[in-house]
Amino acid sequence: MTIRLSGNESRVCGPCRDVTVAFLVQQGVPAESLEVSGGQEHTTPATAPVTARTKPTRVVLIEDDDRVGTAVCNALTKRGYHVKWERTGHGGMSAAYLAKPDVILLDLGLPDIDGIELLRQLRLVSDVPVIVASARGEIDDRILGLTAGADDYLVKPFSVDELCARIGRTQHNRGPGTWAPEIYDDGLLRLDSARLEARVADVPLDLTPLEFRLLETLARQAGKVQPMATLLVKAWHDTSGKGDDRVKFAVSRLRGKLGSTALGSESIVSVRSVGYLYQGPHSPVQTEDRASVLEDRDRIARDLHDLVIQRLFAIGLGLQALAPKASAVTDHLLRYVDDLDTAIQDIRETVYHLQDRPIGAPNLRGKVLRHAGRAESALGFAPRVVLECPVDTTIADDIEHDLFAALGEGLSNVARHARATAVDVILRADRRGRHITLYVIDNGVGMPENVVRRSGLGNLETRARRWGGQFIVADSPGGGTALTWTASLPA
């Protein structure tokens, strides 16, 4: 093969022709100034023609470089492909939604969005084959592209014949690509997957690409719990299953942005030890989630069985060893009674972690979680909620009203005065003593007694005394303030 440029002539073998031409065009040589002709001195086996198709393969090319884009478009068109060329990531996303192509060729250095981010968004809404065609040729770049969802990765300059062969490989035994609907709209939240735009009540919501993917993953499965591992795969394309802290941090930022909208931060509900779900204006928790909790009964029973049997077995061995030592029985029995109390507490904690799904009308525990969650945007972080009470605890409406007034005032005090970075909300209910106790403990700067009396906390003492309880302000172990509010429950 002979290539002529400005009177100069170079001979190359057939397979090297396209690589050389593509490289020269990429370096700025006008394609029309190149003259390519065949040689007779040596023949090479012809490259296998593009596989015969009943319909031409539809290609969306996302490439910002005019010279490379023109060369690839012309080469593929001559070989029978239908090519739609877009120079920006957002334009390419819109074109892909409209054309529903058989394959997407994606450059990574785009002017409006990084190609890897665009690839991750594509993988959230479609399984269409994607071939990355980029000058980023380092091994780390190729690994990143493939783990982000690319079906193949080509490094520039490349042979057009090789590109065609790789396109053909993506089409073997494939049906049409599947695409999620371009628009998600629940009457309040509107997501445009093609333009990567989010609006709440028709007001634009400024989100990063990661936040958009996270919200879209949750919203398109509204009312259904999305486990941490699923969110990592969908939003980060991370299949390691390790990265709960990344998810929690991203959700916290997303909630902060939603908190100033008509949706509110509580539209994203935390399901402890499992993941998160989105609850829109018309998306109550699905029946499947109710069923899945019922299906968890066997797992709960197994966990409780293992926990209880091991504890009771250890206590039984201890009691057997006490038989020859009658004089020491009393002290040891008291110690084993304490062990039994610890076992009971462990059982409760196990049940809380396994049954922490918001199903139907919220009980006392669910209401505490919801009230604490609403304070996250004001605090700048999520309160840690510890529920040390039976699952079915109920209290009178009047007491409940004062309890949540105490909780709201306590968290408001932390947000306004404490300069804290963490706060614990602890609710304890003692069925035998018929008392309920609320603790709000922060790690902030502490609060003098005279400030307490001038703040909104002063009336909480009156509310506690109304129910035979008390309200106490003390220093917390972390240097902040510990608020304790108690009430007696009627028998």
Residue 158: the pLDDT is 87
Q: At CB < 8 A and 24+ separation, what contacts does 174-182 make?
A: 174/129, 176/100, 177/100, 177/101, 177/102, 177/126, 177/127, 177/128, 177/129, 178/126, 178/127, 179/97, 179/100, 179/125, 179/126, 179/128, 180/124, 180/125, 180/126, 180/220, 182/97
Does the model's pTM come out above 0.75? Answer: no
The average confidence (pLDDT) of the chain is 76
Residue 294: the pLDDT is 45
> Omega into 157 within 30° of 0, i.e. cis?
yes
Residue 59: the pLDDT is 94
> Is domain 58-171 given the CATH code 1.10.3720.10 in the classification?
no
* CATH architecture, range 372-488: 2-Layer Sandwich (3.30)
Q: Which helix (H) or strand (E) holds 352?
A: helix 329-354
Distance CA 224, CA 287 (A): 9
Distance CA 425, CA 383 (A): 7
The full 3-state SS of 415-480, as one line of letters, equals: HHHHCCCCEEEEEEEECCCCEEEEEEEECCCCCCHHHHHHCCCHHHHHHHHHCCCCEEEEECCCCC
Residue 82: the pLDDT is 92
Residue 154: the pLDDT is 93
Q: Read off the pLDDT of residues 319-364 as tens digits, 9 standing for 90 and up.
A: 666 656 555 566 666 666 666 666 655 665 555 555 444 444 456 7
Residue 42: the pLDDT is 39
The two tokens of residue 115 are 């190609």
Residue 450: the pLDDT is 57
If you compute the radius of gyration of the chain from its CA atoms, what whole number of angstroms results?
A: 32
The two tokens of residue 8 are 């100069």
- Cα 48–chain centre separation: 45
> Is domain 183-285 given the CATH code 1.10.10.10 in the classification?
yes
Residue boundaries of the structural domains of the chain: 2-37, 58-171, 183-285, 297-354, 372-488
Name residues of the chain where pLDDT drops below 70: 1-8, 10, 12-54, 173-177, 272-273, 282-363, 389-393, 430-433, 447-458, 478, 491
Distance CA 487, CA 466 (A): 8
**Residue 327 DSSP symbol:** G
- Cα 253–chain centre separation: 11
